[in-house]
Each structure stands twice: as C-alpha cells, then as structure tokens.
Amino acid sequence: MCGIVGILGKKPVALQVLDALKRLEYRGYDSAGVATLEDGHLARRRAEGKLGNLELKLSEAPLSGAIGIGHTRWATHGRPNETNAHPHATDKLAVVHNGIIENFAELKAELQAEGIVFETQTDTEVVAQLVTAKLRDGKSPMEAVATTLPRLRGAFALAFLFEGVSDMLIGARHGPPLAVGWGDGEMYLGSDALALAPFTDEVTYLEDGDWVVLTRTDAVIRDMDGHPVDRVRQRVPTNSFLASKGNHRHFMVKEIYEQPEVVARTIAHYVDFAAGLACPPPLPFAWKDLRRVSITACGTASLAGHVARYWFERLARLPVELDVASEFRYREAPLDPGELAMFISQSGETADTLASLRYAKSQGQRILSVVNVPTSTMARESEAVAPTLAGVEVGVASTKAFTCQLATLLSLAIAAGRERGTLSEAEERRLVAALNGIPELMTEALHLEGEIELLARDLARARDVLYLGRGTAYPIALEGALKLKELSYIHAEGYAAGELKHGPIALIDETMPVIVIAPYDSVFEKTVSNMQEVAARGGRILLVTDARGAREAAMDTMGTIVMPDCDPVVAPILYAVAIQLIAYHTAVFMGKDVDQPRNLAKSVTVE
Ligand code: G6P
C-alpha cells in the first residue's frame, strides 16, 4: 500500500526521503516520487517501478531542498506510470496521498466545470486542485487545507508541501495511519515509525480526523473541528524497527526461519511453562459468560481465524462465526450485545478489518484483537489486545505473523476451554505440552527445505494446482493455495477434501498437481479416500503428512513430505511451514519477486 514521508530538515532531504521510502517498500508499490523546494520553488522527481528508478533520476538531476515529501504508490485510480505517480503538484503545492477519495469523480467534475484541466487519472489530483483553488482565493495554506478536508470522503492520509513555504508541512489522517516524528530541529511525517527509524524513535500517531501543521521545532495537531488536541508522544522500541535480510536471500525465507524463535516467544507469553497450563494475560471478559464469538480478518489472518474456529468450537464448545472483513463490514450481521468479536491482523491497520471492528463496537460487542503491531489503530481501538510477538514482518506474504497468530489463538482456545469447563486439566496439560513442543518441531520441519525445493521445480511447471485438506488441514490447504498464487502467480485453489467430488474433481488430469495436507488424525482415512479419487483420474499427488500417514496411505505420489510427528491439534502450526516453503521455492525457481509480489500490498489501508 502507498507510503508517505515528509521531512523538514536542516540539510538537503531528498536522499533521506528516499531512504525512508525504502523502509516502506515492504508495503508493496508500483511507482514512487519526491518533491522538495528548490530556492522556494517546487521541484519533483518521479519514476515508474522500483525505487532504484527514482534513485537514478535523483542522481541524474539531484534535489537540494531542505524540506520535502515522498511517496511510494500502490495504484488505485490510474495506471502505475510516471504521470500518475505522486507527488501531485500545481504551481502552489505538492501533495502525497495514501487511500481513496471516494467522491473524487464528483469533485473533479465540479473543478472541470470551473475550467481546471487535470493531468492525471488519480483521485489525488482533486485534492491538489481543491487546495490550490482556495490558495488562489487568498486563503493561507492552513485555511486552505482545513476547508478542503471536510469535502473529502473516503479513507486518506495526506502530506502537503507549499510553494514558497520552506518551514511548514501539513499532514492529515482520515483512515490510513500517519505518524509525526520528533527530531532535533527537524520534524518528520511517515506512514509508520519504521519509515522514520533512521531519524527518530520518538513519534506521535495521529488519530482519525486529525491534521497537523509541522514546523522544524513543533507540531500542532488539530481534530476534525479544528480544535488543537494533545496526542501522546511515545518512544517506539528500536527492536521493532526494520531488520536486514541477514544471510538470507529474501525477507520471506528469513521470516520463515525465524518462526521457531518467534512462535516460542509468543507461546511463552500465553503459557506458564512451569505449571504446564495456559495463562493468557487477564482479559476484561469471562469466556464462560460468552455464548458465541465472531472472528473477522482479511487474507492470511482470516485463515488463522478459520483454524481457530475449529479450536474454539472443539476445545471450548464455543460457537464461532467467521467472515472475511470486507463482507462482514457490510453484512449488517445481528450481534447480541455482550458477545465477543475477535479481529486478527498482522498490521492492525487493514481498512476492512478496522471498519468491521468499529461496526462490532457499535453493536455492543466485547472487542479482542490479535495484532502484531502494538501501536496500530486496531490495538488502540480494542478493548483487549492479544499480541503476537512475531516482530517486524517485511515479506508481503505473511508467514511468521500467521504461525504466531495460530499459537496465540490456540492458547486462548485452551484457556477458554478450561474456564468453560470443557477441557479437563489433564487435557489442558497435554495440549500445552504439544504447543510447547511446536518450536522444536518447526526447526525439524525446516530441515525438509532441500527436499521441498526439488519438488517445487516440478510444481513450477504447473498451470493450476489444487490443495486439499480436512478439519484444520482445510484452512491450511486454503493458505497453501493463497501463498502459491500470490508468490508464483500459478493458479491454485484450496478445497475441503470432501468437496472434491462436488466440482474440482472435473479439473483433475495428469497435468494437475494435487497437494494433500493430511497429518495422521481422526479424518485421515477419509482424506485418503479422496486421494484415491484423484489417483483414479490420473491426478498427481503431493502428500504432506507424517510418518504414520505416509505408511498408511501407501500411494504412488509425485512426492511425499514427511513432517515430524505432532499432536493433531497443533498440526496446523507445523504444517504451515511446509506450505510456506513450497510456495517460496516454486516462486524463487520461477524467478518471481517473492518479497514484493506483483500487485500485492501489505497493510492494506484501502477497501
Ligand atoms: C495483505 C497481505 C496478506 C495479509 C492481509 C491481511 O493481503 O498481503 O499477507 O494476510 O493483507 O493483513 P493484516 O495486516 O490485516 O494481517
């Protein structure tokens, strides 16, 4: 998703802006740009594609202004070319924008009727033109922005730089996050603290509806009504800042390898090792008082919720309603007051999940968020937060955040089961022991990488791939298919194994790999029957199972990945490693950009 940077510095800032933009690359983007004031006059450099192209332009035609704004663009309105790249400018100002101005067509028509000619296909240009019109009417930059903001509908974060104004930037937030960074005689704006990490670790997060006037020594924040407001100035721990790839080729594989450590750290937060019991930090509600739970999320996080549904229903006998946030937010689901609404998000900023959270809140739900970024909007707006301790996740495709979400959700389900009297102490101890064993088993599973890499070469030739699973292996099959398609662009579908005969079986022939996720559990034999149906039609099976499953299945496969033995309840956490490595190696073999797959974004702050 788009990234915003603004710097009021003491020296030329263009390269600092570029540096900050590099730290926002992980969000996914397709063009980029910088604007500064050169002797008081606006100057821009913009480029299609990766930041390297912008860097080249800046080396050919450097900018020397000590005030500037920058942007990485993830296209919404208009193709990702240089014309549509931000900053957008008039003779009065330059502006960068993250989000969508939903009423842009109406505003554009109004401006066009007044004779304004538009250069781009973006929604952002209407903001530039609206503020410019007010400046032409004699308003000050502050007045011009203040009177424009109420006219904009949708979700947006904005940063403005004005012609001839060398000691002021204006930022505004209505949806996507925007942070103010405090320096020594320098001030910053950034989509997140990560972008500003080289310059400062002291930030203030704007609240929804806030806008800020930055000078080199101060930041005056106002709310939607123009009243000055105090917002907390906080230190963001340096360990939450962007790490390097280390010896790894990509962030994604580094993050896959970090899983034993970060999952162990997350489990330690929720489990009392000495007692062998689940002990999540106290929550402001009692599990035994609940009659149902709704779980809402997007993408990979929603698949963590899908696994959790099995856990909460089976272990805590608590009915779970599950939906993707983009549907939930508009479904007008009837929610009985006092029930629990859970939201799962790595970033804590995903627009649809946040809107769903606000809807649930308005319906009198208790709000619990499972988030990885503790300073995120969702964390701030939730009644209770169950943190995942995955650390910064840079790869656009979520890996370690997913397994930490699973570990957190299972711990919560065990605690809920105990409190609701549906799990005996002996069962709880068994499950906690199984959970504690997971990090070591993940390390063992990582040793299968070489084998998976070889199988991936075969998969890379496929046009379509089917993933099958039953029980908690079903959402893992869905996640396997999602990972493969987002990284390798091979068409992949995940299906409940039992649904095979209701449609996807028609696709099966000798060209179609079918990846079956099947730990040896209570439904294993049923899955084997589905594998037989695939084999009978010439389908090629890649079986991901354990030693017993491999023995019992006794089938000809294109490959069998034998995972370490584990309790079936914790299997989804372990089997996630296999499907991540399958997708990663297939994509790497095909030469794809696994850390920033085409068209994808992290921290999806638009609908
Ligand atoms: C994007 C990312 C996914 C992620 C999803 C939800 O689509 O590419 O990896 O699962 O957003 O993000 P969240 O930050 O809410 O977990």
Q: Looking at residues 37-48, what average pLDDT do you find?
A: 97
The protein residue whose alpha carbon is closest to atom 15 in ligand 1 is: 345
Strands in 114-210 per DSSP E: 154-162, 169-174, 179-182, 187-190, 202-205
* Residues in contact with ligand 1 (CB, 6 Å cut-off): 298-301, 345-347, 350, 353, 396-398, 600, 602-604
Q: What token pair was written down for 585?
A: 């190696």
Residue among 288, 300, 220 nearest 481 (CA): 300
Q: Looking at residues 533-550, what average pLDDT do you find?
A: 93
Q: Hey, which of 263-277, 385-399, 405-419, 553-567 has the most confident mean pLDDT?
A: 405-419
pLDDT band at 240 (very low <50, low <70, confident <90, very high): low
What is the overall mean pLDDT for the chain?
Answer: 94
| 277-278/211-214 β-pairing | unpaired
The protein residue whose alpha carbon is closest to atom 7 in ligand 1 is: 299
If one residue of 194, 602, 603, 607 were mutated to test the ligand 1 pocket, choosing by the most ligand atoms within 8 A of its CB, it would be: 602
For residue 602, the CA-to-ligand 1 centroid distance in Å is 6
Is the domain of 169 the same as that of 121? yes
Is the domain of 369 the same as that of 290? yes
At residue 243, the pLDDT reads 62
Is the domain of 165 the same as that of 314? no
At residue 239, the pLDDT reads 56
- How many whole angstroms separate alpha carbon 373 and alpha carbon 346? 7
2 tagged catalytic: yes
Is the domain of 346 the same as that of 417? yes
The protein residue whose alpha carbon is closest to atom 5 in ligand 1 is: 299
CA distances from 204 to 180, 181, 233, 406 (A): 5, 7, 5, 31
Place of tokens 């990090």: 439
The one-letter amino acid at 413: A
**In the predicted structure, residue 375 carries a pLDDT above the cut 90:** no
pLDDT band at 575 (very low <50, low <70, confident <90, very high): very high
At residue 601, the pLDDT reads 74
**In the predicted structure, residue 345 carries a pLDDT above the cut 60:** yes
For residue 550, the CA-to-ligand 1 centroid distance in Å is 33
**In the predicted structure, residue 359 carries a pLDDT above the cut 90:** yes
Quickly list H helices, 366-424: 377-381, 400-420
At residue 76, the pLDDT reads 84
For residue 456, the CA-to-ligand 1 centroid distance in Å is 24
Residue among 343, 41, 288 nearest 162 (CA): 41
For residue 398, the CA-to-ligand 1 centroid distance in Å is 7
Answer yes or no: is 604 within a domain: no
**In the predicted structure, residue 237 carries a pLDDT above the cut 70:** no
Taking only the tens place, the pLDDT of each residue in 2-29 is 999 999 999 999 999 999 999 898 888 8
For residue 96, the CA-to-ligand 1 centroid distance in Å is 23
pLDDT band at 505 (very low <50, low <70, confident <90, very high): confident
Answer yes or no: is 601 within a domain: no
pLDDT band at 241 (very low <50, low <70, confident <90, very high): low
Q: Looking at residues 192-196, what average pLDDT do you find?
A: 87
For residue 299, the CA-to-ligand 1 centroid distance in Å is 5
Domain with 494 in it: 444-595
> What percentage of the chain reaches a pLDDT higher than 90?
82
| Secondary structure class of 318 (helix, strand, coil) | coil
Taking only the tens place, the pLDDT of each residue in 453-495 is 999 999 999 999 999 999 999 999 999 999 999 999 999 999 9
Taking only the tens place, the pLDDT of each residue in 310-343 is 999 999 999 999 999 999 989 888 999 999 999 9
If one residue of 26, 194, 398, 399 were mutated to test the ligand 1 pocket, choosing by the most ligand atoms within 8 A of its CB, it would be: 398
- CATH number, domain with residue 111: 3.60.20.10
- How many whole angstroms separate alpha carbon 152 and alpha carbon 251? 37
At residue 602, the pLDDT reads 75
pLDDT band at 170 (very low <50, low <70, confident <90, very high): very high
Q: Looking at residues 523-541, what average pLDDT do you find?
A: 90
Q: Looking at residues 244-269, what average pLDDT do you find?
A: 92
- CATH number, domain with residue 507: 3.40.50.10490
| Secondary structure class of 329 (helix, strand, coil) | helix
CA angle, residues 31, 176, 19, in degrees to nearest 5: 45
pLDDT band at 279 (very low <50, low <70, confident <90, very high): very high
Beta partners for residue 343, in sequence order: 296, 369
Residues with Cβ within 8 Å of residue 209, at least 6 apart in sequence: 173, 174, 223, 224
134 tagged catalytic: no
**In the predicted structure, residue 392 carries a pLDDT above the cut 60:** yes
- How many whole angstroms separate alpha carbon 175 and alpha carbon 4? 13
- How many whole angstroms separate alpha carbon 585 and alpha carbon 591? 10
Is the domain of 195 the same as that of 294? no
Is the domain of 70 the same as that of 120? yes
Answer yes or no: is 335 within a domain: yes
φ/ψ bin of 338: left (φ > 0), alpha (ψ from -120 to 50), beta (otherwise): left
Is the domain of 409 the same as that of 487? no
Please state which of the ranges 138-152, 496-510, 591-605 shows the lowest mean pLDDT: 591-605
Is the domain of 267 the same as that of 401? yes
Answer yes or no: is 272 within a domain: yes
Answer yes or no: is 403 within a domain: yes
At residue 25, the pLDDT reads 87
For residue 27, the CA-to-ligand 1 centroid distance in Å is 10
Is the domain of 432 the same as that of 482? no
Last residue of a domain, one of 375, 407, 436: 436
Last residue of a domain, one of 371, 403, 436: 436
Query: Which one is catalytic: 57, 92, 254, 602?
Result: 602
The one-letter amino acid at 72: T
> What percentage of the chain reaches a pLDDT higher than 70?
99
At residue 607, the pLDDT reads 74
If one residue of 2, 252, 300, 600 were mutated to test the ligand 1 pocket, choosing by the most ligand atoms within 8 A of its CB, it would be: 300
Answer yes or no: is 492 within a domain: yes
Last residue of a domain, one of 203, 238, 273: 238
Is the domain of 588 the same as that of 468? yes
**In the predicted structure, residue 538 carries a pLDDT above the cut 90:** no
Answer yes or no: is 306 within a domain: yes
Is the domain of 261 the same as that of 176? no
Atom of ligand 1 nearest to the CA of 603: 14
Q: Are 96 and 70 in contact (CB under 8 A)?
A: yes
Q: Hey, which of 200-209, 369-378, 408-417, 594-603 has the most confident mean pLDDT?
A: 408-417
| 293-297/320-324 β-pairing | parallel
Taking only the tens place, the pLDDT of each residue in 81-116 is 999 999 999 999 999 999 989 999 999 999 999 999
Is the domain of 284 the same as that of 428? yes
Answer yes or no: is 552 within a domain: yes
The protein residue whose alpha carbon is closest to atom 1 in ligand 1 is: 602
The number of folded domains in the chain is 3
